[in-house]
Amino acid sequence: MHFRHGGRNGGNIGARNTKTIMHIPEDNFIALSYINTKLRDEYSSLEEFCGENDLSPEDICARMAQIGYNYDKQSNSFRQALK
């Protein structure tokens, strides 16, 4: 089961649903932490995260692969790649 904490509009009834442009941190390790936190707290999949934030899953996966992390669907997070 997936829960959202307060929703995108802070839980205000009748508030307009506006899309905020997602800015991923420049540093790949900070980006890893940021993305994994978003996946854990707000999104049920990488596809949902990327779709709602106008990002490319392929680009995110390629960026995380640069630092040795792959997306794991089962845990819905980026995990260190096995060597």
pLDDT in tens, 16-75: 445 555 689 999 999 999 999 999 999 999 999 999 999 999 999 999 999 999 999 999
**72 vs 81: CA distance, rounded Å:** 10
pLDDT at residue 82, as a whole number: 81
Determine, yes or no, domain membership for 36. no
Residue 57 is assigned to a structural domain of this protein: yes
pLDDT on residue 25: 94
State whether residue 33 is helix, strand or coil.
Answer: helix
Q: What pairs with residue 71 in β-bridges?
A: 78
Indicate left, alpha or beta for 11 from its phi (over 0: left) and psi (-120 to 50: alpha): left
Task: Tell which wins on pLDDT, 33 or 15.
Answer: 33
Domain count along the chain = 1
User: Does residue 83 carry a pLDDT above 60?
Assistant: yes
Q: Would residue 15 count as lying in a domain? A: no
CA distance linking residue 24 with residue 64, whole number of Å: 12
